[in-house]
Amino acid sequence: MAKKKTAEKALNIDSILFNCRDYLRAARNSGSFFEKRDMMLTLVFLRFIGEKYEDGIEKLRETLIEQGLDPDDENIRAAFFDDVSFADGTYNLPIEARWSTIINTPAPQLNVALDTALKRLEEEDPQLKGCFIQGTFTTRNLGANDIKKIVDEVNKISHKSFGEQKDLIGYVYEYFLKEFAVNATKEEGEFYTPHDVVQLMAAMIEPYEGTLYDPACGSGGMFIQSAELVKSKQGNLNGINVYGQEKEPATYRLAKMNLALRGISHNLGEESDSSFTHDLHKGLYFNYIMANPPFNLKGWYNDNLKKDARWTDYVTPPESNANYAWILHILSHLKSADGVAGFLLANGALNDSDTLEIRKRLIENDKIEAIIVLPRELFITTDISVTLWILNQNKKGGNYHGRILRNREHEILFMDLRQWTENPVKGENKKKVRLISDQIERAANIYHTWQCESVDGKKYEVPELYRSVGIDEIESKGWSLTPSKYIEFIDHDLEIDYEKEMARIQLEMQEIMKQEKKSQQMLEDAFRGIGYGID
């Protein structure tokens, strides 16, 4: 019995991915980090989409049996299974793309079978066009034994084992970022947004219906977590339409795979490209925007952006850092009447001197609603400190998701969550913490309560946690958005009873002096005993 428990414990997604990583490292022709990651993510996608198809077929069989029909009857199979239609977004996979076909393919034929599966998927569904690189497996042409071992490992990954609610493709993406990526801890780069951070953003801005946009959508995690929130609140994904853009070709393909797997209708444009130099959704305005753009991005600018319409009413952002270019890009896509955005930036953006004029105008134009500093160790792939910004095009109040909101013009809510570090994540190579559901709910409640009609913004504060601040005070602090300049932090040293503490210290010092005197006397006695005098 004990051996069985040990075997079950050993079967976890990290151990499976560790084995795949080692097989790929050892395999001849396995390629670069990006090529290894592409192969793994593509295999995981085929595994998951195949499992969804198998689950759909099983449910269809059960339904037919409940209706008194024989699913194995030739006529019934022809009517229901040959051109099967699923209501939950599950794909009717061509036989070449089914996981049962792949896993039963002889090892020497696997590379060809996998590329055939990808080709057939693109032929069958326009949503999957551009998801895959033609010849992903035959170009690398891994040895038969190597590709077979990797496919057998991927076969162990199942939503039945690891949870339907998890973004497992996103998890695989994060794992390979951690294990293979070079310079993963540098400020500028590719970061996977932790689920708890996405959940916090979604809980804050509540993207329940309308349009949702992410200008740096990565693997699509923002959309997936938002979809989970929509399902938990409303149960209907048809009420939200997602739009995104991603610069990196491999990550663009991953996002398309991830969203297709979830049955989430999406528009990521026809290609991967920069949101700055080639805005694929130019002229479109969205109800909600959620983003985690690359921190402190360099090399974003070219001369064609000098008089870009996105910063006409502000100032051209500095070429050395894209943080404020992201802010103005996001603002340019928000619906003017009621658009709301939540996005992450490095803390330096709160008080940069070279962006002072843009920050001042954003505050004066009443676009910034809340600034929330997050705990430092939330990200695995970077140690940089991060802030959640919330922009709101309508701070005048009114009805919003069933709540009556007050007029919050010329007020900003500051929150500091840096002390929320009591939930460590075990098993990581570096210190990491997470926000649990109670903390996410508490932070969202602080924000939503502040918005409500019955609240007096001038008195809304809790020391060391949050405070509502008016524009006059922000101007007096040089237009800084650093929360610690406004939130009261208590000097806990003032709580000490100094008279009592000094008396305790004096007693300790007296005891130390006694011990030293006693030791000195013993030393003198010892020297006299052996015939030495001490002056």
Mark whether 47 and 19 lie in a shared domain.
Answer: yes
Domain count, the chain: 3
Answer whether 247's CB lies under 8 Å from 107's CB. Answer: no
Tell me, yes or no, whether 185 lies in a domain: no
Mark whether 128 and 267 lie in a shared domain.
Answer: no
Mark whether 68 and 101 lie in a shared domain.
Answer: yes
Mark whether 354 and 427 lie in a shared domain.
Answer: yes
Answer whether 411's CB lies under 8 Å from 469's CB. Answer: yes
pLDDT for res 232:
74
Tell me, yes or no, whether 509 lies in a domain: yes
Mark whether 145 and 278 lie in a shared domain.
Answer: no
**Spatial CB neighbours of 205, under 8 Å, sequence gap ≥ 6:** 288, 290, 340, 341, 342, 390
Tell me, yes or no, whether 302 lies in a domain: yes
Tell me, yes or no, whether 493 lies in a domain: no
Mark whether 371 and 444 lie in a shared domain.
Answer: yes
pLDDT for res 390:
98
Residue of 281, 286, 290 lying closest to 210 (CA atoms): 286
Tell me, yes or no, whether 492 lies in a domain: no
Tell me, yes or no, whether 533 lies in a domain: yes
pLDDT for res 28:
82
Mark whether 82 and 144 lie in a shared domain.
Answer: yes
Burial class (CB in 10 A: 0-12, 13-18, 19+), 91: buried
Mark whether 264 and 368 lie in a shared domain.
Answer: yes
pLDDT for res 252:
87
CA dist 170 and 264 (Å) reads 15
Q: Which residues of 230-262 are buried (b: 16+ CB within 10 A; e: fewer)?
A: beeeeeebeebbbbbbbbeebbbbbbbbbbbbb
Mark whether 480 and 506 lie in a shared domain.
Answer: no
Mark whether 271 and 345 lie in a shared domain.
Answer: yes
pLDDT for res 2:
44
pLDDT for res 130:
79
Domain CATH number, residue 80: 1.20.1260.30
Residue of 6, 98, 1, 89 lying closest to 48 (CA atoms): 98
Tell me, yes or no, whether 289 lies in a domain: yes
Among 140, 161, 182, which residue terminates a domain?
161
Mark whether 336 and 281 lie in a shared domain.
Answer: yes
Among 115, 144, 161, which residue terminates a domain?
161
pLDDT along the chain (535 residues), means of 10: 40 80 84 78 87 85 88 82 65 88 96 94 82 87 93 85 60 64 41 82 90 92 81 70 90 84 85 94 96 90 92 93 96 96 94 95 97 88 82 94 92 95 74 89 95 92 95 97 91 55 62 65 59 43
pLDDT for res 170:
65
Tell me, yes or no, whether 167 lies in a domain: no
CA dist 141 and 59 (Å) reads 37
Mark whether 332 and 432 lie in a shared domain.
Answer: yes
Residue of 417, 336, 328, 420 lying closest to 370 (CA atoms): 417
Whether the model clears a pTM of 0.85, i.e. scores above it, the answer is no
Domain CATH number, residue 421: 3.40.50.150
Structural domain of 33? 12-161
